[in-house]
Amino acid sequence: MTAAWVDKIKWFVILVLIQGVIISQVQVSRYAVPLLYVVFILKLPSDTGRKSLLFYSFLIGLCVDMFGNTPGLNATASLWLAMARPSLLRWQTSRDSSDSFVPGIKSMRLAPYLRYVFPSVLLHSAVLNVVDAFSVAKISDIVIATLADTAVTVALIMIIELVGRKK
């Protein structure tokens, strides 16, 4: 097993456990729920194939769903993110499509990375909250929850990036 695989598995397990055991038990507010596991999908190498990206995204979403007793909500939102991720990443990079890199502040710089992370997390949060509410009658709650989830999640991702950058 290569070091890259071991690293992926380690991050997968750590993020699922943090999301399932810690974050699901600690709610910032009624609306703001950190979705830290999304960082796993966002940090997969740029040359990750579409099928692999969908598989990893579904798997991490399903694991979080099992911890949270939310059948399919996180898996659905993660699949939507996996479908949009290549386009969102291409939109923020001027690299040749054959260049492989792990998205982050180091490889993309701060502003492009934020422009990649923010819409990605916003899409994931929007899908998650729409599927969870399953009603347009609660549109104001959906919008508030989506914006709050996005703000908290992006802040946590940036903290992780900045702490990881100093190592």
If one compares 12 and 24, the residue with the highest pLDDT of the two is 12
The mean per-residue pLDDT over the stretch 149-167 comes to 88
- Please enumerate in sequence order all residues whose Cβ is within 8 A of that of 130, keeping only pairs 6 or more positions apart, or say none: 142
The whole-number average pLDDT for the span 98-110 is 88
Q: Which domain holds residue 75?
A: 3-166
pLDDT value, residue 26? 73
* pLDDT(160) > 70: yes
CA dist 166 → 4, 38, 39, 109, 148 (Å): 21, 22, 18, 14, 28
- Predicted confidence at residue 117, as pLDDT, reads 98
> Residue 3 has what pLDDT?
79
- Report CA-CA distances (Å) from 148 to 19, 131, 163: 17, 16, 23
Domain count, the chain: 1
Q: What whole-number distance in Å separates Cα of residue 87 and Cα of residue 81?
A: 10
Encode pLDDT of 14-54 as tens digits. Answer: 888 888 888 877 766 777 889 999 999 999 999 999 999 99
Please write the tens of the pLDDT for every residue from 56-99: 999 999 999 998 888 999 999 999 999 999 999 998 887 555 67
